[in-house]
Amino acid sequence: MRSIFIGIAAFAVGVGVATLVDSGRKTELIEPHEVVIASSVGAQASPVGDSPNYSLPNTNVHLLRSEKSARTYPIWVDVPASYTERGDGKKYPIVFVTDAGYSFPLVRSIRNLLGQRGRNIEDFILVGLAPAEGDTSAASRSRDYTPTNPLPSAKADDGTYNAQLRYGEAIAYRDHLESEVFPYIEKHYRADMRRKVLAGHSLGGLFGAYVLLTKPAMFQHYILSSPSLWFDAKSILKFERDYAAQHRDLDARVSIYAGSFETIRAEPRYFKSVDIVEDMKRFKKLLESRRYSGLRIDTKVIADEDHLTVYPSAIGRGLLNALPGFGPYTSG
């Protein structure tokens, strides 16, 4: 196990999970800023001055190889303070977050502050899903979080997709989580594998929708923030139709969030060609029309948020919903 060290300069990541930038004429993929991680034991020299980098306590990195894709993926694991304090062998729910470079330190802080040591949000083990070794965030997420390849049918000058990237390998990544990541977490941590949460934003939210519609039992709660249901001409709807044709139930809890600016309008912060709010509402209506007895789904449009600002609010709300604490809730 190797501790995570994040240099202060490198931690100025901006918004690392953004998928879309609306240029006014077209919607473009942008490459997220990278978070430089130095994995080792002991303090390291800072890239700025001589002071050591800051270490996240109770956090470790594990490298797991995917037999299906032959890629190696780092997983970042953080346990709450109570994990080491308790001596009763308690098992903890697990929250898996996509786009770990951005989401992992944020969700860790939300659990520790908003959670109030289990009062508001039940303490949980946090697992960050990081890009494959040797890949940029853009390369890894475009390939691993998307269930279809839009390039063959995309217009050459559309600008939505990058011909230098690969798409459509979500099935391999999903199977890597199920066959390699899950057993590792279960073996090495006191994890309650019957209580797993998947949280993803943008393409990470699309990946969550894909898992929900292909192997829903992998997770018990899905937190989908601004999911890219628009991707590849809304190809996710084919997976929904295929699932509905073969199943009479979908046993899962689903929370979907979008910012109020994530709709089409000719004003700053709004999209010009993608309506995530409307896609979210239609997706909920479609799932509800199947009348799955085990499905509980809720959606919310969060006021005054856009694609780059909505995630902190969405994940906070999602965790309060997915893993309520012993209460009563307090902000003190």
Helix residue ranges, H only, 177-214: 182-188, 203-214
Task: Write the CATH number for 291.
Answer: 3.40.50.1820
d(CA 299, CA 290): 17
Structure confidence at residue 123 (pLDDT)? 98
Residue 330 inside a domain? The answer is no
Residue 269 located in a structural domain: yes
Tell me whether residue 32 is in a domain. Answer: no
Any residues with CB less than 8 A from the CB of 74 and at least 6 apart, and which? 37, 39, 61, 62, 63, 64, 130, 131, 133
- Per-residue model confidence (pLDDT) at position 87: 78
In which residue ranges of the chain is pLDDT below 70?
Answer: 1-49, 154-158
- From CA 105, how far away is CA 128, in angstroms rounded? 9
Residue 57 CA: distances (Å) to CA of 107, 114, 151, 186: 14, 18, 42, 21
In the structure encoding, which two tokens stand for residue 240, read together? 């929904």
Q: Are 204 and 98 in contact (CB under 8 A)?
A: yes
Answer whether 0.85 is exceeded by the pTM: yes
The pLDDT score that the predictor gives to residue 46 is 56
| Residues found in the chain | 332
The pLDDT of residue 25 is 32
CA separation, residue 154 to residues 28, 150, 167 (Å): 13, 6, 12
As for how many domains the chain has, the answer is 1
In this prediction, residue 13 carries a pLDDT of: 30
Check residue 56 and give its pLDDT.
87
Please tell me the predicted confidence (pLDDT) of residue 55.
Answer: 82
Amino acid at 117: R
Domain that holds residue 128: 58-322
**Any domain includes 167:** yes
